[in-house]
Structure 1
Amino acid sequence: MDEKKLNAAGLATRREVLGAAYVDGAVKNADAFNDDMQVLVTQYCWNDIWNRPGLDRKTRSLLNLAMLTALNRPHELKLHVRGALNNGVTREEIKEVFLQAAIYCGVPAAIDSFRIAREVIDGKDGH
């Protein structure tokens, strides 16, 4: 598959998970400095990984919530809470991920993740 097709497939998945408005804004705001990063994220992350058959999107979302909690990446966590909800993850499942992350990643990281997820779930995150 050529690079344009890989990028288009990744862009479609990215829009389905994160929402078209967010993704279209990120792509629109790309410039000479960060355009290569947008291409890399779209092609390798959203096509090469998210479109693999080994795990469904819900499972990938659950993994992302745990990993982003461990890495303490609030901006990305907010995006992926929204994506997880789009992928059928329930509030209860999100809660369970953060409770388990509290044990393995630390309570402060999990508390931040709960706070961020609540903003998204309650629609107070500006989206």
Structure 2
Amino acid sequence: MELKDADKEMFETGLAIRSAVLGKEYVDKSINSADAFNQPMQELVTEYCWGRVWGRDGLDRKTRSFLNLAMLSALNRPHEIKVHVRGAVNNGLTREEICEVFLQVAIYCGVPAAVDSFRLAKEVFAEMDGKA
């Protein structure tokens, strides 16, 4: 698929933000392992999610990470929770702040959702601390 100039620019913006938040290695692996089937999804996510939404000025990256952790917990998306816990740390959230997000999730989305999110975050923290 050939991207138009404006789309290419937004894709590059999204790629830079996505790499800064999630880590270049993770993003490169996602982009480089794309095939004809899922390449359109990688382009969509990078251009629209990361370029057009994360690239907006209305919220800072830390606030967007707070929101993502809560929404992904509510939606029970374990893979994305793990990815975004690491991204949240990259965006300046402390472990205490992440704890507070998941406590809020427990009240408004249910204890099971929060329990899973705490467990997933502990796995990410162990990996980050070199204990996994």
Q: Which category describes the TM-score, using the shorter chain as reference length?
A: over 0.9
Instruction: Give the gaps of 5 or more residues in structure 1.
Output: none
Runs of 4+ aligned residues of structure 1 deviating over 2 Å after TM superposition are none
Instruction: Give the gaps of 5 or more residues in structure 2.
Output: none
Pairwise CA RMSD: 1.7
CA distance, structure 2, for counterparts of residue 63 and residue 90 of structure 1: 15
Aligned to 2:66, which of 55, 62, 69?
62
CA distance, structure 2, for counterparts of residue 117 and residue 70 of structure 1: 15
**Corresponding residue for residue 114 of structure 2:** 110
Secondary structure of the structure 1 residue equivalent to 2:127: coil
Aligned residues: 127
**Corresponding residue for residue 123 of structure 2:** 119
> Are residue 50 (structure 1) and residue 51 (structure 2) matched?
no
**Residue type at the aligned position of 2:71:** M
Q: CA deviation at 1:123?
A: 1.1
TM-score normalized by the length of structure 1? 0.96
**Corresponding residue for residue 98 of structure 1:** 102
CA distance, structure 2, for counterparts of residue 62 and residue 117 of structure 1: 13
Aligned to 2:13, which of 9, 16, 20?
9
Aligned to 1:83, which of 77, 84, 87?
87
**Residue type at the aligned position of 1:66:** A
**Residue type at the aligned position of 1:12:** A
**Residue type at the aligned position of 2:117:** S
